[in-house]
């Protein structure tokens, strides 16, 4: 039920630098339908920074990194939340909005980090390291969160670890995030062996080649990258922190060692910055499309549900994080 055919057309100006004119007509029908469906269903769309620009800039109501999406999910005033991102993000939104309908447009939008650990693994770690607090990255299932003491994201991991006042913490499941945090704190960190399949592929050699090919380029890296990559970057931070860095420093030329859509989305806001793009695609994030967001709203699918006992315990770990 598209409203006015001009609704989507008026949005093109925003994304013209990153979506070629020849591709735009393929999006307009879905954009108009989604904007109308949001009004009809009193729905909001939360989109992660890795969503493609036609989602991020044209239909999303709330955008950001995992931490911002979790925080903003707490104050959503809508009946329906569509999570344009991966499954753990939709679960987090549901944990914080138990009374609302939370939809994920594709149930297979997973995450290699979330898949690297189970609730039973966390229980084993607790047996092995009794009384050591467990800090769990938000990129995990609700069942894993339920076995943990507190969550963290890449945006607050150091603060969360230090907030516990413990000499040692277990940090699950991202080995590289754990090592990157260990380099910044006196707290001893016990890590797991999970990796992000997107960020583990960047290497220090990539950075050296980029610096040679683009003298003066500023290199920003996500802390899910291996520590040797972070060590060679000019700055490391969450997706929101990288975006803020570009806004604050306005480097003439920048490269973001992260998922591909991130550069497109930040480039829209900063036309004066030249983005070099040796990115890696996240196949899970890319499962979300305008077509399946539209279908989610039309057919009320896929509804995110969490076992009430798991949800109660997992919510506590997320709320504890948000209170830090
Ligand atoms: P951010 O919390 O930095 O947005 O990261 C989420 C993520 O999945 C990165 O791969
Ligand atoms: Fe998971 Fe990596 Fe994709 Fe982020 S980029 S959702 S950590 S696989």
Regarding the beta carbon of 111 and ligand 2, being less than 6 Å apart is answered yes
Mean pLDDT value across the chain: 96
More confident residue, 144 or 75: 144
Regarding the beta carbon of 91 and ligand 2, being less than 6 Å apart is answered no
Phi-psi region of 216 (alpha: psi -120 to 50; beta: other; left: phi over 0): left
Asked if the peptide bond before residue 45 counts as cis, ω within 30 degrees of 0, the response is: no
Nearest CA to ligand 2 atom 6: 111
CA–centroid distance, 294 to ligand 2, in Å, is 23
C-beta separation of 51 from 285 below 8 A = yes
CA–centroid distance, 309 to ligand 1, in Å, is 27
Atom of ligand 2 nearest to the CA of 283: 3
Regarding the beta carbon of 260 and ligand 2, being less than 6 Å apart is answered no
Residues 6+ apart with CB under 8 A from 209: none
Mutate to test the pocket of ligand 1, among 67, 68, 181, 238 (most ligand atoms within 8 A of CB): 238
Q: What is the pLDDT of residues 204-241, one digit of tens each?
A: 999 999 999 999 999 999 999 999 999 999 999 999 99
What's the pTM?
0.95
Q: What is the pLDDT of residues 166-184, one digit of tens each?
A: 999 999 999 999 999 999 9
Q: What is the pLDDT of residues 254-270, one digit of tens each?
A: 999 999 999 999 999 99
**pLDDT at residue 75 in the model:** 86
Nearest CA to ligand 2 atom 2: 196
H runs (alpha helix) in 183-300 = 204-213, 227-232, 239-249, 260-269, 290-299
Q: Is 197 exposed, middle or buried (0-12, 13-18, 19+ CB in 10 A)?
A: middle
| Greatest CA separation for the chain | 61
C-beta separation of 103 from 297 below 8 A = yes
Q: How far is the C-alpha of 321 from the C-alpha of 277, rounded, in Å?
A: 33
Sign of the CA dihedral 216, 217, 220, 225? negative
CA–centroid distance, 3 to ligand 1, in Å, is 34
CA–centroid distance, 98 to ligand 2, in Å, is 25
Regarding the beta carbon of 65 and ligand 1, being less than 6 Å apart is answered yes
């Amino acid at each position: 039920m598209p409203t006015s055919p001009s609704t989507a057309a008026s949005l093109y100006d925003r994304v013209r630098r990153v979506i070629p004119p020849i591709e735009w007509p393929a999006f307009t029908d879905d954009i108009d339908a989604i904007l109308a469906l949001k009004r009809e269903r009193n729905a909001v769309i939360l989109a992660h920074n890795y969503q493609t620009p036609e989602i991020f800039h044209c239909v999303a109501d709330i955008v950001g990194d995992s931490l911002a999406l979790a925080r903003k999910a707490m104050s959503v005033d809508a009946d329906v939340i569509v999570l344009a991102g991966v499954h753990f993000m939709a679960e987090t939104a549901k944990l914080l909005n138990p009374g609302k309908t939370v939809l994920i447009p594709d149930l297979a939008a997973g995450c290699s980090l979330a898949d690297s650990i189970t609730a039973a693994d966390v229980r084993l770690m607790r047996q092995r390291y009794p009384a050591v607090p467990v800090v769990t990255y938000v990129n995990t299932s609700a069942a894993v969160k339920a076995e943990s003491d507190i969550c963290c994201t890449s945006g607050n991991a150091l603060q969360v670890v230090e907030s516990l006042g413990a000499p040692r913490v277990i940090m699950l499941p991202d080995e590289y995030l754990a090592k990157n945090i260990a380099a910044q704190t006196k707290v001893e960190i016990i890590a797991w062996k999970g990796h992000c399949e997107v960020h583990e592929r960047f290497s220090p050699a990539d950075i050296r080649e980029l610096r040679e090919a683009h003298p003066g380029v500023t290199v920003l890296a996500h802390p899910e990258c291996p520590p040797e990559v972070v060590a060679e970057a000019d700055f490391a931070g969450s997706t929101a922190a990288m975006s803020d860095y570009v806004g604050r420093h306005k480097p003439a030329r920048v490269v973001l060692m992260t998922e591909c859509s991130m550069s497109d989305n930040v480039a829209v806001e900063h036309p004066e910055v030249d983005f070099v793009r040796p990115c890696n695609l996240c196949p899970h994030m890319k499962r979300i499309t305008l077509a399946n967001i539209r279908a989610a709203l039309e057919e009320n699918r896929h509804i995110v549900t969490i076992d009430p006992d798991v949800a109660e315990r997992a919510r506590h770990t997320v709320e504890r994080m948000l209170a830090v």
